[in-house]
Copies of this chain bind each other. A is one copy, B any other.
Amino acid sequence: MSALTHIPSPGRFKVPPLSAAVRVGDLLFVSGTPGYDEDGHIAEGDFGRQFDQAVATLQAILAAGGASMRSIVKVNMLLTRLDDVAEMNRRYAEAFGPGPYPARTTCVVLSLPDPRMLLEIECVAQVDPRA
């Protein structure tokens, strides 16, 4: 059995007990990725900035795990405000496009673990076997 590959979180701040992603075979399972920057700042109340930052972090995690935005299979978008759905779709279409897009589920939860988080993006991606 080939070992699991654990990708550490890219930030310079203390994170919960989790890896940013874990590779098993040619699949990379990515943790729910919030909109903190590398210093642990989060744009409170600003969905757009949190979204863009989460995508930037996600891109770094995917690259570290041998995957990319084009190799994402499935995304789960967790939001905390229904009113952000339209803006999320606009930004998402650009960040994850052009199509065909990954499979995706979106839901609005009561809260994310830090109540300032307005979103988290988690995904499963295919790893390039040459990575």
Contact = CB atoms under 8 A, between A and B. Distances in A.
Interface of A: 1, 4, 6, 8, 16-22, 24-27, 29-32, 71, 73-76, 78, 80, 82, 85, 89, 92-93, 96-97, 99-113, 115, 120, 122, 124, 126, 128-130
B27 A24 contact: yes
B25 A26 contact: yes
The oligomer's copy count stands at: 3
Contact of A89 (B17, B29, B74): B17
A20 to B, nearest CB: 7
Contacts of A71: 4
A14 to B, nearest CB: 11
A109 B112 contact: no
Nearest to A71: B4
Nearest to A82: B111
Contacts of A24: 26-27, 73, 124, 126
B74 A22 contact: yes
Contacts of A107: 32, 78, 109-113, 120
